[in-house]
């Protein structure tokens, strides 16, 4: 009924540098030493198996995947037996839905294995071929299943209501009610077939972007503060931006964006194609706009999107105040974007290995109960849910990707000298435990929770980690360090993602108005936002306008606003758990899956996102933290 899907990327995070939260100061020496050997990124074959995820619960090997792939290719056509028969009876509809569910569940497992193997090494030709073959099969399956939703939507109201009341469809009532909402936007069977046939072609720009930025682009080498030559990658960029030496930060920034500049027209063309595809889908399905099409499935009012932007815009002075504080503390004549990630508190050094990061995350989530802690601890250690470290060709950033029948896998590019990676681990663990609870509490057809809720669960864990670390220390300097990190968390998640959300709305409006969506128009729109969000006293480098071409989330349009609403809801829910000591309501939220629309699910948990109250409260906390940090570092 949902139809077979492309391999999802899960709740993905762009961790460098847009998702930088905070990082510890890298150790430097006052004594000149000879340059250290270059730090090379290992090949996938050189990574210890214990540091990788274990995909054998999906398939024991590539050959087993191939066997299931061939079986699915032979089995999916059984759905044809239901064509033209969906309206015969409630029992027939149930059987058709169960057939679709069986095929979809098998696709989930095939999809997950193929996507995770490609993630391991984007240059692995065998993995790329596997994923390409699967996507081609999914187009054929999508075509075969394309009649199902139109036939359900063609049922008259009396028949649909009678079917819904029939015990034969008792387990499908939630899914069917959600589907019925889509009736005005469901096309005829022949039109749905054409949409299914064109799905892969219309999504090709995303693959082009991924291959270009993760494989083809080469950023060179930067000498770090210890005299080491560090290969500049999408992942190592974050480590270089936290170094105390401004020359290192400036060089990393310049080389990174020089490579994007060399490919700017190709990247702009790719992003413009993605926007055009979004507009095509919205118009083809009779939505007023692309943004309303994206919001409709979750039943999120456009007012929630617009209210978020309005609240953040109203509170930009607090962000500008923070940049002014950062400029003073670092003793800079002018502040650039590559100066916004280096730690403000000197003399605090951290080098947290993987086990240390896991220990901190588990201690932080203790308020959620022993089962939560034990399950997560097993997954992050012996269960091998996580692919821990960077290797050549591995996708940048981090994500969690779980399905109904598999472990909730986590991809990381963990670095012990980047303290924000501990928070990234907590974040992805929140996603994974959300999946773990949902799959155990709901039927397959009801377990898929929307991303709107996923970003609440992930950021909730970050809030608990911050609280735990602040409670653990009595050192004013450590408190300043942690407060500063939380400020950067809000800056990256609430302010920055809202800026991204504004940009997405603007470029889609340009396309919808029939105006030219070019490199120049995209950069101009982005520059206006940079000026507003960074403020009049910020030195904006011209290269920063290219940033709009490097954000992976723009290929999944109108996604990023959910990070901002997510952190706002997470602040409210975490305070609720910490103040009451009762996690029952929150755990029920995790178990709810997709049984309700996200606004209603959050209301049940105690947060009403229809009003700006939660966003305004989070922004007020940001302002208080900036004031507190001023007192700790300046007064």
pLDDT tens track for 33-91: 333 444 688 999 999 999 999 999 999 999 999 999 999 999 999 999 999 999 999 99
In a domain, 632, yes or no: no
Residues 6+ positions from 46 with CB-CB distance below 8 Å: 391
Of 618, 590, 631, 232, the C-alpha closest to 442 is 590
215 secondary structure, DSSP code:
I
Assigned domain for 384 exists: no
> Where does residue 175 rank: exposed (0-12), middle (13-18), buried (19+ CB within 10 A)?
buried
Residue for token pair 């501990």: 422
Q: Which among 86, 138, 145, 83 is positioned nearest to 108, based on CA atoms? A: 138
What's the number of domains the chain is made of? Answer: 1
Within the chain, what is the greatest distance between any pair of CA atoms?
A: 83
What is the model's pLDDT at position 349?
66
| CB environment 118-156: b (16+ within 10 A), e (fewer) | bbbbbebeebbebbeebbebbbebbbbbbbbbbbbbbbe
Report the DSSP beta bridge partners of residue 394: none
pLDDT at 635: 63
Q: In the prediction, which pLDDT does 19 show?
A: 21
Model confidence band, residue 10 (pLDDT cutoffs 50, 70, 90): very low
Residue ranges of alpha helices (H) inside 204-263 are 204-211, 236-241, 246-262
Give, in degrees to the nearest 5, the angle at Cα 115 between 119 and 131. 115
pLDDT at 7: 32
Residue 523 lies in a domain: no
208-212, 345-349, 518-522: lowest mean pLDDT where? 345-349
Instruction: Tell me the two tokens of residue 399.
Output: 């994500």
pLDDT at 21 over 50: no
Asked whether residue 23 carries a pLDDT value surpassing 70, the answer given is no
Residue 468 and residue 363 in contact, taking contact as beta carbons nearer than 8 Å: yes
Q: What is the reported pLDDT for 347? A: 66
As to burial, measured by CB atoms within 10 angstroms (0-12 exposed, 13-18 middle, 19+ buried), residue 77 is exposed
Q: Does residue 433 carry a pLDDT above 90? A: yes
Provide the pLDDT for residue 627.
96
Q: Is the pLDDT of residue 6 over 80?
A: no
Q: Please state the rounded mean pLDDT for residues 304-319.
A: 97
**Mean pLDDT estimate for the chain:** 90
The answer to whether residue 526 scores a pLDDT higher than 50 is yes
Q: How far apart are CA 572 and CA 614, in angstroms?
A: 7
CA distance 605 to 74: 44
Contact of 224 with 236, CB cutoff 8 Å:
no
Mean pLDDT, range 420-440, rounded to an integer: 95
Q: Tell the residue number behind the tokens 């997954």, with chain if given.
A: 379
d(CA 186, CA 181): 10
**230: β partners:** 39, 222
Kind and range of the H or E run holding 71: helix 62-75
Written in H, E and C, the secondary structure of 155-177 is CCHHHHHHHHHCHHHHHHHHHHH
Judge whether residue 315 has pLDDT over 90: yes
The answer to the question of residue 124 being in a domain is yes
CATH code for position 176: 1.20.140.70
Task: Please list, in sequence order, all residues whose beta carbon lies within 8 angstroms of the beta carbon of residue 269, skipping any fewer than 6 positions away.
Answer: none
| CA end-to-end distance (rounded Å), the chain | 61
User: Taking a C-beta distance cutoff of 8 angstroms, is the pair 548, 267 a contact?
Assistant: no
Domain assignment present for residue 193? The answer is yes
Question: Is 175 contained in some domain?
Answer: yes
Cβ contact 180:282 at 8 Å? no
Active-site residue, selected from the candidate residues 428, 455, 504, 547: 428
d(CA 330, CA 399): 33
Greatest mean pLDDT range, 24-28, 234-238, 448-452: 448-452
Structure tokens at 443: 């039927």
pTM: predicted TM-score of the whole model, two decimal places:
0.81
Q: Domain range holding 153?
A: 53-202
Provide the β-strand partners of residue 229: 223
| 335-372 burial: b if 16+ Cβ within 10 Å, else e | bbbbbbbbbbbeeeebebebeebbebbbebbebbeeeb
Is residue 301's pLDDT more than 70?
Answer: yes
- In this predicted structure, what is the pLDDT of residue 239? 82
In this prediction, residues 259-285 reach a mean pLDDT of 94
On the question of pLDDT at 307 being above 50, the answer is yes
Is residue 14 over pLDDT 80?
no
Q: Is residue 100 part of a domain?
A: yes
- What number is the average pLDDT over the span 447-475? 92
User: What is the rounded average pLDDT of the residues 377-404?
Assistant: 94
pLDDT, average across residues 174-184 = 93
**Facing residues of 13 across strands?**
398
Q: Spell 520-546 as b/e; 16+ CB within 10 A means b.
A: ebbbebbeebbeebbbeebeeeeebbb
Q: What confidence score (pLDDT) does residue 430 get?
A: 97
Measured in whole angstroms, the distance separating CA 34 from the mean position of its chain's CA atoms is 41
Beta-bridged to residue 399, according to DSSP, are 12, 411
Residues in a beta bridge with 400: 410
Question: Which is nearest to 23 in space by CA: 236, 242, 237, 339?
Answer: 242
The answer to whether 623 touches 474, Cβ cutoff 8 Å, is no
Q: Strands 409-411, 386-387: parallel, antiparallel or unpaired by DSSP?
A: parallel
Answer yes or no: 428 catalytic.
yes
Residue 186: per-residue pLDDT: 86
Q: What is the DSSP letter of 212?
A: I
Rg (CA), the chain: 24
Residue 3 banded pLDDT, cuts 50, 70, 90: very low
Q: What is the pLDDT averaged over residues 573-577?
A: 94
- When mean pLDDT is compared across 21-35, 271-285, 377-391, the lowest value belongs to 21-35
Surface-to-core class of residue 632, CB atoms within 10 Å of its CB (0-12 exposed, 13-18 middle, 19+ buried): middle
Asked whether 409 and 53 are in contact (CB, 8 A), the reply is yes
Q: Edge-to-edge strand order for the sheet containing 386-387? A: 12-13, 398-401, 409-411, 386-387
Q: Is the pLDDT of residue 188 over 70?
A: yes
The mean pLDDT of 103-117, rounded to a whole number, is: 97
Q: Is 99 helix (H, G, I), strand (E, B) or coil?
A: helix
Distance CA(37)–CA(34), nearest Å, equals: 9
The answer as to whether 241 is a domain residue is: no
For residue 30, pLDDT beyond 60: no
Q: What is the pLDDT of residue 123?
A: 87
């Amino acid at each position: 009924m949902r139809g077979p899907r492309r391999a999802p990327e899960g709740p993905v995070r762009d961790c460098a540098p847009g998702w930088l939260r905070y990082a510890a100061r890298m150790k430097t020496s006052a004594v000149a030493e000879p340059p250290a050997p270059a730090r090379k990124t290992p090949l996938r074959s050189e990574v210890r198996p214990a540091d990788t995820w274990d995909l054998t619960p999906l398939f024991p090997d590539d050959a087993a995947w191939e066997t299931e792939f061939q079986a699915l290719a032979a089995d999916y056509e059984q759905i044809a037996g239901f064509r033209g028969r969906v309206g015969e009876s409630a029992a027939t509809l149930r059987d058709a839905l169960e057939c679709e569910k069986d095929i979809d569940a098998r696709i989930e497992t095939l999809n997950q294995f193929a996507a995770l193997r490609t993630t391991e090494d984007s240059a692995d030709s065998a993995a790329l071929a596997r994923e390409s073959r699967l996507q081609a099969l999914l187009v054929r399956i999508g075509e075969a299943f394309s009649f199902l939703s139109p036939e359900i939507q063609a049922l008259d109201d009396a028949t649909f209501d009678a079917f819904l009341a029939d015990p034969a469809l008792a387990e499908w009532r939630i899914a069917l009610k959600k589907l019925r909402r889509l009736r005005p936007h469901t096309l005829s069977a022949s039109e749905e077939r054409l949409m299914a046939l064109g799905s892969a072609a219309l999504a090709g720009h995303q693959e082009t972007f991924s291959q270009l930025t993760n494989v083809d682009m080469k950023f060179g080498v930067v000498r770090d503060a210890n005299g080491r030559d560090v290969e500049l990658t999408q992942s190592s960029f974050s480590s270089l931006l936290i170094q105390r030496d401004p020359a290192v930060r400036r060089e990393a920034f310049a080389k990174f964006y020089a490579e994007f500049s060399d490919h700017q027209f190709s990247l702009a063309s790719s992003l413009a194609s993605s926007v055009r595809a979004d507009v095509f889908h919205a118009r083809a399905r009779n939505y007023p706009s692309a943004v309303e099409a994206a919001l409709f499935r979750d039943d999120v009012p456009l007012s929630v999107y617009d209210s978020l932007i309005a609240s953040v815009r109203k509170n930009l002075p607090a962000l500008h105040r923070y940049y002014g504080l950062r400029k003073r503390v670092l003793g800079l004549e002018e502040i650039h974007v590559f100066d916004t990630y280096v730690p403000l508190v000197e003399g605090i050094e951290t080098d947290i290995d993987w086990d240390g990061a896991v220990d901190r995350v588990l201690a932080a989530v203790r308020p959620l109960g022993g089962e939560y802690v034990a399950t997560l601890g097993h997954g992050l250690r012996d269960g091998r849910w996580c692919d821990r470290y960077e290797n050549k060709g591995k996708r940048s950033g981090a994500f969690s990707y779980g399905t109904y029948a598999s472990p909730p896998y986590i991809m990381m590019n963990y670095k012990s000298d980047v303290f924000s990676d501990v928070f990234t681990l907590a974040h992805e663990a929140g996603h994974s435990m959300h999946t773990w609870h949902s799959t155990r509490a709901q039927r397959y057809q009801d377990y898929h929770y929307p991303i709107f809720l996923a970003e609440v669960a992930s950021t909730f864990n970050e809030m608990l980690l911050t609280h735990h670390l602040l409670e653990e220390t009595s050192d004013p300097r450590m408190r300043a360090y942690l407060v500063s990190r939380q400020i950067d968390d809000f800056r990256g998640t609430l302010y920055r993602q809202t800026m991204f959300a504004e940009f997405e709305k603007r470029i889609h409006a340009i396309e919808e108005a029939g105006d030219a969506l070019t490199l120049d128009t995209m950069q101009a729109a982005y520059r206006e936002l940079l000026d507003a969000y960074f403020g009049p006293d910020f030195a904006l480098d011209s290269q920063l306008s290219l940033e709009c071409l490097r954000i992976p989330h723009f290929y999944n349009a109108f996604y990023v606003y959910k990070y901002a609403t997510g952190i706002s809801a997470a602040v409210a829910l975490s305070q609720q758990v910490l103040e009451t000591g009762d996690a029952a309501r929150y755990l029920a939220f995790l178990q709810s899956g997709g049984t309700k629309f996200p606004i209603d699910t959050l209301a049940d948990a105690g947060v009403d996102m229809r009003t700006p109250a939660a966003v305004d409260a989070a922004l007020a906390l940001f302002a208080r933290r900036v004031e507190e940090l001023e007192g700790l570092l300046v007064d």
